[in-house]
Amino acid sequence: MVQNKSKGFGVTCDLEGRIIDVLFDKLNQESCIKTGKPFSSFFYEGSQHKAASFLEKIRDNYSAYDWELNLFCNKEIIIIDCSGFLMDDKIWIFGACSKDDIFNMVEDLTRINNEQTNVLRDVMKNLTRHMHKPITDSKIGSEVNLYDELGRLNNELTNAQRELTKKNIQLTELNQQKEMLLKEIHHRVKNNLMIISSLLNIQSRYLKDEESKEIFRESQNRAKSMALIHERLYRSTDLKNIDFKEYITTLANDLYRTYVKDPLRVSLQLDIPELSIDINAAIPLGLILNELITNSMKYAFPRDKKGKVYVVFTKKDGSFILRVGDDGVGFPDDVDYKNTGSLGLQLVNSLTEQLDGKLELDSSKGTEFKIIFKDLSL
Domain residue ranges of the chain, discontinuous segments joined by +: 8-97, 102-175, 242-378
Question: Residue 76 burial by CB count (10 A; 0-12/13-18/19+): exposed, middle or buried?
Answer: exposed
Question: Residue 213 burial by CB count (10 A; 0-12/13-18/19+): exposed, middle or buried?
Answer: middle
Cα angle: 312, vertex 229, 266; to 5 degrees: 40
The CATH number of 242-378 is 3.30.565.10
DSSP for 81-120, written as a single string? EEEEEEETTEEEEEEESSHHHHHHHHHHHHHHHHHHHHHH
In CATH, 8-97 is 3.40.50.2300: no
Residue 13 and residue 39 in contact, taking contact as beta carbons nearer than 8 Å: yes
Q: What is the pTM of this model?
A: 0.49
Q: What distance lies between CA 86 and its chain's CA centroid?
A: 17
Residue 237 and residue 207 in contact, taking contact as beta carbons nearer than 8 Å: no
d(CA 139, CA 204): 96
How many CB atoms lie under 10 A from the CB of residue 231?
A: 21
- In tens digits, the chain (378 residues) has pLDDT values of 334 456 788 888 999 999 998 877 777 655 678 888 888 888 877 778 888 889 998 888 887 877 888 877 766 777 888 888 888 788 888 888 776 666 566 565 555 555 555 554 554 455 444 444 444 455 445 555 666 667 777 777 877 788 788 777 777 776 666 666 666 666 677 677 777 777 777 777 877 788 788 778 778 777 777 777 767 665 666 656 777 888 888 888 888 888 888 888 999 999 999 888 887 788 888 889 888 998 898 889 988 889 999 999 999 888 899 999 999 999 988 888 888 878 888 989 998 998 899 999 999 889 999 999 987 665
